[in-house]
Amino acid sequence: MKRECKLCFNESDDIIEVEEMMFGFKTYFEYLYCDSCQSLSLINIPNNMVDYYPRNYYSFVKRSANKFKNWISKSKSANTLGDFSIIGCSVRFLTGRNSNLKAIKICKPDKNTSRILDIGCGDGFLLDKLNEQGFKKLFGIDPYLEKEIQKNDYKIRKESVEGLVNEKCKFDIIILSHVFEHFEEPHSSLKNIYKLLESNGALILRSPISSCYAFKKYKKNWYQIDAPRHILIPSFSGLKQMCEKLGFRLQNYFFDSDAKQFLISANYKRGIPMISQNTNILKTRFYPKGMYFTIFSRILNLKDKGDQATFIFQKK
């Protein structure tokens, strides 16, 4: 039986059965592969979706209390945003650039006046980095929070995009960092985000990309499918066309996949859930296999064949 793609609405009968592998829950879900736009859509969204976001889900994990580690991280963030330092430059070279901060730098915000909203921000990891760098007007929402989080200079609300639209809020930059793929109604969510942006405001959208080498290689074991949390995994062209139809203009983009697309996916194929894998920076970048796949990932990124990308869309 043919099903409708959640991105382009064309019909396809190419179905892939995917196991939940982040926590090893041993549950299976069907995804539709669209022959027209090459996107992946979750066919049936579970009623108990909240159960697939436990407290140890990565976006809810609190930041390290290690002062030295946080100082190193702060130096790297400053360097990515344009403030040169030997420490920051060295750490960025060894560990890679933070894609969210790189995209924010491209948008050229004003630290004192630009209103920045992070949707699906979890515990506020990115907002904390921006706060450390002197950004004053920060806002965060996440519908899966247990309760509101009050930080020293901003707060994270348990709220939806639709709720902010009803409040007639406006922002200069809105960040969807690996959040778009979790939207149950992606078209209506992007329409509401468009309403939240000021004229010429920017949407930073980071997402896994289905038209990638890793999906072709690993199919149902590609770790970025992340069943059932990822509801729509777009292709590059599909996402671009979708956003342009809704009134956005693509200003810039870059692919930023890394060795995890190979290391984690290969372990999924062996039946090892992510929670049982060692995915720290040493393993994924500096072990021989990690170094090889890091170089290979960078080559794929240059060819627009990496498994994730960062888009900067501007409101027309």
Give mean pLDDT in consecutive 10-residue pieces for the chain, a chain of 316 residues.
94 97 96 97 95 81 61 66 64 69 96 97 93 96 90 94 95 97 96 97 98 98 98 98 97 96 97 90 73 95 98 95
Q: Which domains does the chain have, with CATH numbers?
A: 3-315 (3.40.50.150)
Q: What is the pLDDT of residue 57?
A: 83
Q: What is the pLDDT of residue 243?
A: 97
Count the neighbouring beta carbons within 10 Å of the beta carbon of residue 25.
Answer: 15
Buried b (16+ CB within 10 A) or exposed e, 190-203: bebbbebbeeebbb
Proportion of the chain above pLDDT 90, given as a percent: 77
Q: What is the pLDDT of residue 254?
A: 98
Q: What is the pLDDT of residue 1?
A: 81
Q: What is the pLDDT of residue 265?
A: 98
DSSP 285: I
Distance of CA 51 to CAs 86, 180, 263, Å? 44, 19, 26
Count, residues in the chain: 316
Distance CA 116, CA 42 (A): 30
Centroid of chain to Cα 173: 16
Distance CA 255, CA 257 (A): 6
Q: What is the pLDDT of residue 99?
A: 94
| Confidence (pTM) | 0.91
Q: Quick: pLDDT tens for 126-164.
A: 999 999 999 999 999 998 888 999 998 999 999 999 999
Helix (H) or strand (E) holding 177: strand 171-177
Burial tier of 183 (Cβ tally within 10 Å: 0-12, 13-18, 19+): buried
